[in-house]
Structure 1
Amino acid sequence: MSVISEENVRGGSVFKNISADDEDTQPTEIESLCMNCYGNGTTRLLLTRIPFFKEIIVSSFSCDHCGWSNTEIQSAGRIQDHGISYTLRVETKQDLNREVVKSDSATTRIPELDFEIPPFTQKGSLSTVEGLLDRAVAGLEQDQAVRRAADPEVAEKIDEFIQKLRKLKDLDSEFTLVIEDPSGNSFVENPMAPQKDNALTVSRFKRTVQQDKQLGLRADDDPDEPAADDLEAMRNEVLVFNTNCPECNAPASTNMKLVQIPHFKEVIIMATNCDSCGHRTNEVKSGGATEELGTRISLHVTDISDMTRDVLKSETCSVLIPELEFELGMAALGGKFTTVEGLLKDIKDLTVSKNPFICGDSGPSSQMQKLIEFGEKIDKVVAGEMDIHVILDDPAGNSYLQNVYAPEADPEMKVEKYTRSFEQNEDLGLNDMKTEGYQEDN
């Protein structure tokens, strides 16, 4: 048995770049036991390097006695510090030829077909995008003969799905391939490297405790609660996860971040951007529980500088402007983290610009005129030409308006705490919620 020195590894004499023209790249052959017929077969090992990625070990087994064969790949390095996610928009035939390294811990998804290959259900492979589709088709066809005899209806549905997978190779329509690997050892080729590939999105993420357990990095009896340092890292990191656009249902990404608001509490800000239709949306949720008391915040807007005050309006908060005889109910506009000016402009857009009941020629002229005048008053407030009171009434106690004099009291702002009524608790779903006094049944 030969010994591989560290100098040879560093010098690149062991791991070779993938090339069909390199005659020196020869696999190592080892006689090994066939697990199908228990005869002696041959395992071939090839240590190779993928450009702009890392070293891998490609192993292939074949048995001359029964004809059984098997191939898989393994990373020649360690599990990475972060997981990795590749999102590829397959648009051309060249995209089908991209090299793909999929480790056994990777999850493969095609959102357009609602298709997913869970982790640890396939061995690692070195293939192409087309090869991944062929492997998925082969896996679905494996037991079709038995299914047709036992359950023809299920077999027919699987046949229909197999045809959908095969049509993807014809590129009748574009599709998205997502490979998410918590070990960080999967790879999708960028043919334009080192330049940016507009069809390929690469993001890294921090593994969950459950993923660490699946990879053997944590003991199975470790608690699922994240450690204090994990929570601190989460606060400093923008988390990205895949979702669908609420407008066109195309694959999109949602960014989420924990933000600590001074003199208030921690909130979660989520923003979704769709590259297909351009739709953008953002939402704010409280990072804590429902408060014991409701909160009513009243701000007397007397100067244009008040327009820059930060406002956190939760989805349970209503907005009142007495001078304009205006009230915005709970859930309207959703949760928002904005400024007083931004809140007023959103109110104007909701009541005037985007009001479907007054748009067009069929809208009542008197009602349209009233709303137009309301919009003009909002513009005057934003311009500092009109004083108003903005009242945020949140029975859940999770709304906030910036005190520019903090930690001193703000002479123009009043904050009141109050006990919720039965109706408010009913709206929040608290009357039927019981968290104490449970007894374990004997």
Structure 2
Amino acid sequence: MDSCAVKEPIFTDINAVEACETTEIESLCVNCGDNGITRLLLTKIPFYKEVVIMSFSCEKCGFQNNEIQSGGRIEEKGVHIVLNVKSQRDLNRQVVKSDYTSVQIPEFEFEIPAQSQKGEVTTVEGIIDRSIQGLEQDQVVRRVQNPDLANQIDAFVGKLKKLKELETSFTLILDDISGDTFVVNPRAPYQDPALQVRHFVRSKEQDHILGIYSASEITEDGEGGLLEPVDPEKYPLENLESEVLQFSTNCPSCGAPCETNMKLTNIPYFKEVVIMATNCDICGNRSNEVKSGGGIDPKGLHIEVKVAGVEDFTRDVLKSETCSLMIPELCLEVGPAALGGRFTTVEGILTAMRGQLTQGGVMFGDGADPETKKNLDNFLNKFDRVLKGEIEITLILDDPAGNSYVQSLTPSKPDDKLSLTHYERTFEHNEELGLNDMKVEGYEET
């Protein structure tokens, strides 16, 4: 059994899997009862996360099975994905589906409950095929015991098979409380009009399904006790801005133990923020994250800044973890989770956006279809012209929490290239921020 050296990253990039060979384990075949081989591969999927891919095969009966499990931390929010399937290209979309994903096709009132199928890397057509196989599995017995039910299932299977012929379009809905489901955008890096992705805050019951409990819930007396209160004499609040705190964590890239530095700082004309920086000595990964120190503002914030010269590239930018980015001239939109929270410059945020696109791996590398690869190459060439200052753009930051910021080059008077608009949040915005279920009055009684 081969394994990587201790000093190597735990999860290897999917484009460099030769650096870490698969692990083989002898395991029982559920089909014939003999022993087969399970192969495990720990890898990272570009634009997604760390995963454990498992493949089982039995030489005696020929039975094969594969599934995928998340190898990283549980996402903070669940994900709700709606895909309008209209073409063969939509049927061929790659889908990463977790164990907690429910699948719905509302046109046929068809639903696959969560945890009834294992997580897998598949396609939209593969989901339909697996559903058909599941329905046909016991049809021989049903035709003897309950012919009417068997005929109804045959008729429904026929409808599912016609979906692959695309006589009419249909809607595929994936709902995953773990937030680990992902559908590829074949038009990347451009927006996908057929794909809608919404993140939501889990309920307490959904947290319990995932094995997530609060400190008070896992203590015997229900009074908490796992987290000690901060000693104000040891960590006085007035000294936090002058100190850099350090705590142990795991590298977000390879999972190895490392240290994270955290500092509270005050941005002029804005508010206090917490900056966290992580440096991994094992894989060399460096990351920084910014979180607001002032909670959620009463209104959302929409910022537009014209980038038309060298001085605009030097503007300070604070992008919170709830802020999405848009560049209309490039038809580009980046969701809040793609870059996380960052404190950088306009040039830094643009460079980070381009860096995300060049890490496409198999989705945009030699394994990608020619049209997608051509679209990306043309897009990157245009993006490079933006970074050189040859093309003027408008950088838009939209933050429902109101915790983002762009530096004004003329603090004492209005900046002609910078506009800020505060707006009332929608119900969907409040749902994503977890505000709809928040009780702010009379909470002492519960």
- For Structure 1 versus Structure 2, the TM-score category normalised by the shorter chain is 0.3 to 0.5
TM normalised by structure 2 equals 0.47
Bigger Rg, which one:
1
TM-score by length of 1: 0.47
